[in-house]
Structure 1
Amino acid sequence: MPERDLALLTKAARAAGDIALRYWKNAPKAWDKADTSPVTEADLACNDKIQSILRSARPDYGWLSEETPDDKARLNTEYQFIIDPIDGTRAFIAGEKHFSHSLAVAHQGRITAAVVYLPALDKLYTATEFGPALCDGLPIRCSRKSLADDPNILTSKHTLDPAHWPNGMPQFQRSFRASLAYRLCLVADGSFDGMITFMDAWEWDIAAGSLIAARAGATVSDRYGLALDFNALTAQSPGTFACAPLLHDDLMGLTNA
């Protein structure tokens, strides 16, 4: 089942990519939602295409997407699609390449199949619950660095607030990418040693990338070191840490008093 779901997610992600690229760098209509986050006509068009492909094939699966009003009927389904039609919308609007489509299937709180596709780079990350993490069909692995190895961590400036680190401020190189899903994949393929956010993360931002990072050997948790749980009532996680295992242990020791 995860393999069949993965093939379906891949089909939908590539179809969304074709749509996104027609709008990218072509002045798509954009506006702010009630929570002040941006959305474009491309986000909605991608959402419609993904939903059409996935739900016609799996009508019994629940649905959770950033661009669809949340129907709590998903809580009573065995499987759920968790979708971000365009993750990194600000980057998309700016004409940058690092936006992605994030598609996942959840079962009993766990992600079982995941796809993150970056159409402007034509880069496809995939994983299933018990299979390897892949980038464009080739196996990927996370780094093996610890905090002592001068790691490069994807995170926002907000993370550098000393209040987050009661047991001492860690020293590391800081980098950033707009798409949270892509940040998780960059940890998975070893390009960066970790990604961390203390801010609440929506499930659609982290569902697919969290499985890809975990299957690549990274340790993935919420900000408290607990396992991520999906298809929750609020559809949010209290932060997200995805790091090389030793680095994850080091950071948890500094942040958890």
Structure 2
Amino acid sequence: MPEDDLALLIRAAREAGRIALRYWKRNPRVWDKGDEGPVTEADHAVNDALIRTLRAARPGYGWLSEETPDDADRLSREAVFILDPIDGTRAFIAGEDSFSHSLAVAHRGRVTAGVVFLPALDRMFAATADGAATLNGAGLQASAIGGTEGANILTPAANMKPEFWPGGVPEVKRSFRASVAYRLALVGQGRFDGMLSFRQGWEWDIAAGSLIAARAGAAVTDRHGKALRFNAPVPKADGLIAAAPALHRALLDRLTPPAA
């Protein structure tokens, strides 16, 4: 029986993890990509392995990866791989264990399969568009918190500045993890009530995690409450909010200027 997309992504993610761990805590070579931050020889090695595994298995799929020059050919494909070989590269360089591999397949703009794998922790988050979100095979359930009171949010400290919140800064507990994909997966797991970003987010950082959070029961949109679409000519989302549905609505209310 042919391997389905999710099984293929899981297999590829585990291979990526084995490669990444060969470099982790071993002073890999590092380059600076300017505004896009650092990249290591591990990022390139993982990307090369993913090209071999995924493109060989699905030659008709398009390709969008942080570590591969973009090719407009993907825009003509019904299906496309969207991936970040190592999300949280700064954490990887620092020897922290919260880096991840974020791998997804999107069909006609909609993510249909995705995995976020943390090899140093052996945590495999996975989901399909018509199935449950899982962690190492066990089902996930996002938070059902009723609003901002007592909510624990994953977001950088800068996002809590008053200028971002015309409706008033919400009183929430703030936490942080380096990998955007992992933040989304943690929302799906219910360990955090939500996550938000006001920066434009690359599709490769959010495709897999957004599906995992949504299939676990979280509401996931851009910063304005609009649905996410993938494989865009400029592959970025205008910010990101993933949270328990009631919390998501409350955050959007605070982001909207009060009526005159």
1:179-238 deviation per Cα after TM superposition (whole angstroms, max 9, x unaligned) = 000000000000000000010000000000000000000000000000001000110000
1:180–1:5 Cα change, 3 Å: same
| One-letter amino acid of the counterpart of residue 83, structure 2 | I
Aligned-pair identity (%): 60
Which residues in structure 2 correspond to 1:53-64 (within 5 Å)? 53-64=53-64
1:98-150 deviation per Cα after TM superposition (whole angstroms, max 9, x unaligned) = 00000000011100000000000000000000100000000000011133431
Could you list the runs of 5+ residues in structure 1 that have no partner in the other structure?
none
Instruction: Tell me, in whole angstroms, the C-alpha distance in 1 between the residues paired with 2:216 and 2:149.
Output: 20
Are 1:187 and 2:187 an aligned pair? yes
Asked if 1 retains the 8 angstrom alpha-carbon contact of 2:153 and 2:193, the reply is yes
Asked if 1 retains the 8 angstrom alpha-carbon contact of 2:66 and 2:83, the reply is yes
Q: 2:167 is matched with which residue? A: 167
Instruction: Tell me, in whole angstroms, the C-alpha distance in 2 between the residues paired with 1:103 and 1:205.
Output: 9
Instruction: Tell me, in whole angstroms, the C-alpha distance in 1 between the residues paired with 2:95 and 2:35.
Output: 23
Asked if 2 retains the 8 angstrom alpha-carbon contact of 1:170 and 1:251, the reply is yes
Instruction: Tell me, in whole angstroms, the C-alpha distance in 1 between the residues paired with 2:167 and 2:192.
Output: 24
Residue 34 of structure 1: how far off its partner (Å): 3.5
Asked if 1 retains the 8 angstrom alpha-carbon contact of 2:14 and 2:117, the reply is yes
Q: 1:143 is matched with which residue? A: 143
Which residues in structure 2 correspond to 1:17-32 (within 5 Å)? 17-32=17-32
SS of 1:80 mapped into structure 2: strand
Residue 36 of structure 1: how far off its partner (Å): 4.5
Instruction: Tell me, in whole angstroms, the C-alpha distance in 1 between the residues paired with 2:190 and 2:148.
Output: 17
Instruction: Tell me, in whole angstroms, the C-alpha distance in 2 between the residues paired with 1:170 and 1:64.
Output: 36
Asked if 1 retains the 8 angstrom alpha-carbon contact of 2:148 and 2:250, the reply is no
| One-letter amino acid of the counterpart of residue 241, structure 1 | I
Asked if 2 retains the 8 angstrom alpha-carbon contact of 1:132 and 1:216, the reply is yes
Residue 164 of structure 1: how far off its partner (Å): 1.1
Asked if 2 retains the 8 angstrom alpha-carbon contact of 1:85 and 1:101, the reply is yes
1:175–1:36 Cα change, 3 Å: same
Q: 2:133 is matched with which residue? A: 133
Residue 162 of structure 1: how far off its partner (Å): 1.1
When the two structures are superposed, what TM-score results if normalisation uses the length of structure 2? Answer: 0.97
SS of 1:124 mapped into structure 2: strand
Instruction: Tell me, in whole angstroms, the C-alpha distance in 2 between the residues paired with 1:178 and 1:61.
Output: 29
- Aligned residue pairs, count: 257
Instruction: Tell me, in whole angstroms, the C-alpha distance in 1 between the residues paired with 2:202 and 2:25.
Output: 27
SS of 2:7 mapped into structure 1: helix
SS of 1:191 mapped into structure 2: coil
Instruction: Tell me, in whole angstroms, the C-alpha distance in 1 between the residues paired with 2:147 and 2:51.
Output: 41
Are 1:208 and 2:208 an aligned pair? yes
| One-letter amino acid of the counterpart of residue 54, structure 2 | L
| One-letter amino acid of the counterpart of residue 192, structure 1 | F
Instruction: Tell me, in whole angstroms, the C-alpha distance in 2 between the residues paired with 1:99 and 1:254.
Output: 31
Which residues in structure 2 correspond to 1:53-132 (within 5 Å)? 53-132=53-132
SS of 2:43 mapped into structure 1: helix
| One-letter amino acid of the counterpart of residue 168, structure 1 | G
| One-letter amino acid of the counterpart of residue 10, structure 2 | T
Could you list the runs of 5+ residues in structure 2 that have no partner in the other structure?
none
Asked if 2 retains the 8 angstrom alpha-carbon contact of 1:127 and 1:133, the reply is yes
SS of 1:200 mapped into structure 2: strand
Instruction: Tell me, in whole angstroms, the C-alpha distance in 1 between the residues paired with 2:148 and 2:203.
Output: 31
| One-letter amino acid of the counterpart of residue 15, structure 1 | E
When the two structures are superposed, what TM-score results if normalisation uses the length of structure 1? Answer: 0.98
Asked if 2 retains the 8 angstrom alpha-carbon contact of 1:147 and 1:170, the reply is no
Instruction: Tell me, in whole angstroms, the C-alpha distance in 1 between the residues paired with 2:222 and 2:36.
Output: 24
